[in-house]
Structure 1
């Protein structure tokens, strides 16, 4: 019997969805795969149906209307019957031994979530030439509580583009069912971060371990690179909701407050940009009508812009080791 189901949301993924599906089906332990097509306009669903016709472990369904990746994931989660479930983005893929490693670690430690450090590659680049998302050195395993998780999603602590909200953990299905845990369908940016943080507020036992073989392909048209200002506002609302969680420790409340300050600053800055572009005094005023720490950051960025100084990133991204030197997977 399969222990793991891999769920994949798909929208216009004809060029890469088969690679993702084959990598999930080709694991060294038996897996099931559920792909939810989110009303693709290309031939993604027809391709998935053709693969499923010859592969009983693949289930391919199509949403009645486009609802975004969270809605697609939730539709897949409701169909899962295995003890463990793992997310895979349609443009990413897995090395063959990844799920075995994750399952063995999760079962040995009695975890609810176990995430491995992701290897990020550019299109066409080999995993050996990619870079790790979180760390550049082997660390074994790290227990992850709410305060640390939140801080590891801020450049101040993790470094630019090292946020662990990008990770794709293996998740224990009984925990998800008991806590009625699903992705927020009104969020299309940082919905992973919100879902993982919420799991920690509900008592999930979490660890992050060294890379096991999740390969994230950095696509030029990814939503994480181009998103509307309203998507950042949802992040601000999520952080404010977390601060209302009963029983938070002082450290957890401080960490969420810091993250809220970061997201509120990003939201205010984008609102200012929108105001300038549309010549809207109301939007520019809204950007400045924020708590002093936030409006001060916005004004500082405006001064830098007028002086033609670099605005972002405020913390420089440091050089990274190639995965062949840092991942410990024998990549060549």
Structure 2
């Protein structure tokens, strides 16, 4: 690739503290032609602070919504506003590592291209502009539909690393050719749904193990700040994907597993909500309404109680250990450095 051809999209809400570093990391990259910030009805000075991060190159555009519409709507609005042939999503509290796009554009054999993510604990990210990525071998691979969906089924007590967290550079031509945009009904898993639908449409989704994206992990990020209904909508999105006629049966089988995985999380969360709002009798009535409700609820409650017991008697730590830095995907250093 020659010249600046990437539009970086940052959907932001109440991100005044972190967005200057995010914008600076994007404007630093020579391949970036545009940075479109969408302030999704923040109650702080996100829009003002974002505008102040302008480097004078004319590449920064800040849009503000008066009503919160969610990340999917914000990103779609930014796509409409942008003109560049490639789109790159950057979360408002994350940042690009230097040279990221040079690595991703080393080959042109893809429709989506993603790199490794350095996950950095909040208290270990004192100055993100000075963080340097380790030199990992690229080890490129292409994700097929089954591999991608399987890579989004989380495991209990395992540090999260779903492939839906990837932040690929996306070909606008591919999105336009297949009429793809972010699902505005989703406020959870919107990246996962877009990537899955794209791969189902034949997208060449390339992944390299070298690292160019830094993600800040905050103390509350593991607790799941999403609403219960967001889980239900994500499970429903899986059902919509299952309606794609061209999916082979093997792909549908993995997708059904993911749908059940998300739906079971929804049922447990809904049970706990009903218990908190209307009491144990109403919650028990919901649990006993069907076996589909009962099994994940019993399993989930039992697992929570067992984990709490183990913490109480000291079998496991009372605090989840989050390392200062880790990587989304396992990677190896170049042979010359090992």
TM-score of the alignment, normalized to the shorter chain, above 0.5: yes
Given candidates 81, 84, 87, the residue that maps to 1:82 is 84
Alignment of 1:43 with 2:7, yes or no, is: no
Determine the structure 2 residue equivalent to 1:5: 7
How many residue pairs get matched?
A: 318
Show the 5 A alignment for 1:98-177: 98-105=100-107, 107=108, 109=109, 111-126=110-125, 140-155=139-154, 160-177=159-176
Partner Cα separation in structure 1 for residue 72 and residue 222 of structure 2: 13
CA contact (8 A) 1:130 1:322 kept: no
Deviations 1:251-281 (A, max 9, x none): 1011001101111111111112112222164
CA contact (8 A) 1:119 1:130 kept: no
Query: Where in structure 1 are there 5+ consecutive unaligned residues?
Result: none
**Secondary structure at the residue paired with 2:206?**
strand
Question: Against the structure 1 CA distance between its residues 192 and 67, is the aligned structure 2 distance closer, same or farther, given a 3 Å change threshold?
Answer: same
Question: Against the structure 1 CA distance between its residues 290 and 31, is the aligned structure 2 distance closer, same or farther, given a 3 Å change threshold?
Answer: farther
Deviations 1:61-89 (A, max 9, x none): 11242111111111111122112110000
Partner Cα separation in structure 2 for residue 6 and residue 233 of structure 1: 30
CA contact (8 A) 2:116 2:211 kept: yes
Show the 5 A alignment for 1:20-59: 20-52=22-54, 54-59=56-61
Partner Cα separation in structure 1 for residue 83 and residue 222 of structure 2: 30
Partner Cα separation in structure 1 for residue 263 and residue 5 of structure 2: 41
Determine the structure 1 residue equivalent to 2:243: 244
Q: CA deviation at 1:104?
A: 2.1
Determine the structure 1 residue equivalent to 2:95: 93
Determine the structure 2 residue equivalent to 1:272: 271
When the two structures are superposed, what TM-score results if normalisation uses the length of structure 1? 0.84
Partner Cα separation in structure 2 for residue 277 and residue 226 of structure 1: 17
Partner Cα separation in structure 1 for residue 48 and residue 138 of structure 2: 43
Partner Cα separation in structure 2 for residue 296 and residue 131 of structure 1: 44
Partner Cα separation in structure 2 for residue 131 and residue 96 of structure 1: 8
Determine the structure 2 residue equivalent to 1:219: 218
In angstroms, what is the RMSD of aligned CA positions?
Answer: 3.4
**Secondary structure at the residue paired with 2:93?**
coil
Q: CA deviation at 1:119?
A: 0.9
Deviations 1:207-238 (A, max 9, x none): 11113310000134559721221111111111
Determine the structure 2 residue equivalent to 1:230: 229
Query: Where in structure 2 are there 5+ consecutive unaligned residues?
Result: none
